[in-house]
Structure 1
Amino acid sequence: MVRTSQSVRVLGPSDVTAALAVVARDPVANVFADYRTRITQLDPRWLGGEMWGYHEGDELVSLCHVGANLVPVAASAAACEAFAERATRNSPRSSTIVGPRDAVEVLWAGLEDSWPRPRELRWDQPHLVTTRAADIACDQQVRRTTREEAAVLYPACVAMYTEEVGVSPEVDGGRDLYRARVNQLVGRGWSFSRIEDGRVLFKAEVACASPSACQIQGVYVDPELRGQGLAAAGMATVVATCLREIAPAVSLYVNAHNTAARAAYARAGFEQTDTFSTIMF
């Protein structure tokens, strides 16, 4: 029997321990939810959205982060159906749905008749993980971006985002928010780059981190320098630093058709552990 939204409720600070137990079933794949749970303690004031919990009896068994990103966590088909049923009764608030492909497929099957038409559906995104330093040489010129370099880094971040997502992060008044996000990552020591003479040759950021893993985003190489091995060597440096100073596992996900990026990540030691999907609005 398919459960309804009655099995779903909004979680709060008193649910943090139970939520982290759900996340811990696969802490690397669930690093985003792990990070958001820890940093906000599921307080809506800091979450900027909601965390939904799906229960079987009195046990919390699945989660769904509901904000700019709709992210199912350890979500069975029944949980996804319940999350989708609840989401159809709310105005769409997410610009993306992202997570393990099986869960995203069930969510979208329940939402596609009531939510806006997607701008893009990316069903095949290998989820990659490494827990060891790369066998190739690191790029010794890749290092943490300094606050003084943030202004130089910012245009490369905009270029990467626009190329990857298909829309500039600065549209609809998003410039200040996106610049603040870039500066925040720089300030945390989560931004890595190789900058020469005011030119960003390579860059990447840690998007989120937990005691178990961190997730890389925004990998970018200057278009005129692609195909020269900068991505692989740069990622080797990022991985080595992350493993040493941030988390014991490093993850990311990439579009299956991006063969050049996948080859660079493989050289940097990444291996596929799952398949993610992203639906973009």
Structure 2
Amino acid sequence: MLTQTTTRVLEPSELGAALAVLESEPVTNAFVTSRVQVAGLDPWRLGGEMWGWYTDGRLRSLCYSGANLVPICATPEAIRAFADRARRAGRRCSSIVGPAEPTARLWRLLEPSWGPARDVRPHQPLMVADRLPTDIEPDPYVRRIRKDEMDVIMPACVAMFTEEVGISPMAGDGGLLYQARVAELVGAGRSFARIDDGRVIFKAEIGAATPQACQIQGVWVDPEYRGRGLSETGMAAVLRYALADVAPVVSLYVNDYNTAARAAYRRVGFEETGAFMSVLF
């Protein structure tokens, strides 16, 4: 008996089926799940399309196609279907990001038409914590950023993004989209920093949040203050906020070559449970 498969853009009425797929891997899918829980599946509100791969009429895999292209619970057959659709549509995203194995498979299929990439990061350990460290005291000076402190936090955010991604977020539209995203996180109470004499010396955000899991991003220490353990005590403070106010499981992913950060996160109690991959354009 032949298996019938198809790929198409999900309708808003299919929200329940989409969430069932997303929530089957709550930590890995936290970024996309958080967006879908807020915006649903309407492309305008979601900021992109949600593609579905079906077998015998049942939704099995997803792919978010917006500013990022993100394979979700994607089987090898689904990856081939998503790659075909992405090739036909042409590249509209600034990155491909997701679990390492399916993302690598997707990139191999897209690279002949979409390449070359500006940067490929094939192994970014996914790290998870569900409790506070017992031997690191959270930095008492790390706190939530207030809405009237946007001018204080923005230079640190721009510095972090430029250092991490390799280009300034202020390029193109003058930084309007990036500033809006920072303001969104500040307004939601998910932007944290230590500010000494008006200067941000540590910062991080909870970039994605669902009732099951949240994801820390944008961890940055002022270069003049690095090597003093601020990333450990600062992360312990953000972890405390996250576990108390957001979700029972906290995750992040980090470049494999950033051995100092990986060691600091391990000391705070994060354990490596998988890997992501990023392709940057």
Q: How high is the TM-score relative to the length of structure 1?
A: 0.96
Q: What is the alpha-carbon distance in structure 1 between the residues aligned to residue 71 and residue 171 of structure 2?
A: 27
After superposition, the C-alpha distances for 1:113-142 in whole angstroms (9 at most, x for unaligned) are 111310000001000011111221100000
Please give the residue correspondences for 1:57-136 in structure 2 after superposition, counting only pairs within 5 Å. 57-135=56-134, 136=136
2:255 — aligned with what? 255
2:9 — aligned with what? 10
Does the CA-based 8 Å contact 1:134-1:240 persist in structure 2?
no
Does the CA-based 8 Å contact 1:134-1:239 persist in structure 2?
no
Query: Shift of the alpha carbon at 1:183?
Result: 1.2
Q: What is the alpha-carbon distance in structure 1 between the residues aligned to residue 37 and residue 153 of structure 2?
A: 28
Query: Shift of the alpha carbon at 1:33?
Result: 1.8
Q: What is the alpha-carbon distance in structure 1 between the residues aligned to residue 239 and residue 263 of structure 2?
A: 15
Q: What is the alpha-carbon distance in structure 1 between the residues aligned to residue 32 and residue 166 of structure 2?
A: 25
Q: How high is the TM-score relative to the length of structure 2?
A: 0.96
Does the CA-based 8 Å contact 1:122-1:277 persist in structure 2?
yes
After superposition, the C-alpha distances for 1:156-187 in whole angstroms (9 at most, x for unaligned) are 00000000000000011241221111111111
The residue type equivalent to 1:111 in the other structure is: L
Query: Shift of the alpha carbon at 1:109?
Result: 1.4
Does the CA-based 8 Å contact 1:12-1:41 persist in structure 2?
no
The residue type equivalent to 2:152 in the other structure is: V
Query: Shift of the alpha carbon at 1:91?
Result: 1.9
Query: Shift of the alpha carbon at 1:268?
Result: 1.3
The residue type equivalent to 2:278 in the other structure is: T
Does the CA-based 8 Å contact 1:124-1:255 persist in structure 2?
yes
Q: What is the alpha-carbon distance in structure 2 between the residues aligned to residue 92 and residue 116 of structure 1?
A: 10
Match of 2:88, SS state, is coil
1:30 — aligned with what? 29
After superposition, the C-alpha distances for 1:232-253 in whole angstroms (9 at most, x for unaligned) are 1000010111111011111110
1:46 — aligned with what? 45
Does the CA-based 8 Å contact 1:104-1:277 persist in structure 2?
yes
Match of 1:211, SS state, is coil
Match of 1:133, SS state, is coil
Does the CA-based 8 Å contact 1:129-1:249 persist in structure 2?
yes
Query: Which stretches in structure 2 are left out of the alignment for 5+ residues?
Result: none
Q: What is the alpha-carbon distance in structure 2 between the residues aligned to residue 123 and residue 91 of structure 1?
A: 22
Q: What is the alpha-carbon distance in structure 2 between the residues aligned to residue 270 and residue 205 of structure 1?
A: 16
Please give the residue correspondences for 1:235-254 in structure 2 after superposition, counting only pairs within 5 Å. 235-254=235-254
Query: Shift of the alpha carbon at 1:60?
Result: 0.3
1:189 — aligned with what? 189
> RMSD over aligned Cα, in angstroms?
1.3
1:268 — aligned with what? 268
The residue type equivalent to 2:92 in the other structure is: R
Q: Which runs of 4+ in 1 moved over 4 A?
A: none
1:141 — aligned with what? 141
Query: Which stretches in structure 1 are left out of the alignment for 5+ residues?
Result: none
Q: What is the alpha-carbon distance in structure 1 between the residues aligned to residue 73 and residue 147 of structure 2?
A: 37
Query: Shift of the alpha carbon at 1:12?
Result: 2.1
After TM superposition, the structure 1 stretch with the greater mean CA deviation from structure 2, 205-214 or 175-184, is 175-184
Q: What is the alpha-carbon distance in structure 1 between the residues aligned to residue 273 and residue 57 of structure 2?
A: 31
2:223 — aligned with what? 223
Q: What is the alpha-carbon distance in structure 2 between the residues aligned to residue 13 and residue 172 of structure 1?
A: 31
Q: What is the alpha-carbon distance in structure 2 between the residues aligned to residue 49 and residue 116 of structure 1?
A: 22
Q: What is the alpha-carbon distance in structure 2 between the residues aligned to residue 32 and residue 173 of structure 1?
A: 24
2:180 — aligned with what? 180
After superposition, the C-alpha distances for 1:239-281 in whole angstroms (9 at most, x for unaligned) are 1111110111111100011011111111111001101100000
Match of 1:88, SS state, is helix
Does the CA-based 8 Å contact 1:213-1:248 persist in structure 2?
yes
Percent sequence identity is 53
After superposition, the C-alpha distances for 1:72-98 in whole angstroms (9 at most, x for unaligned) are 110111111110011100121111100
Match of 2:107, SS state, is helix
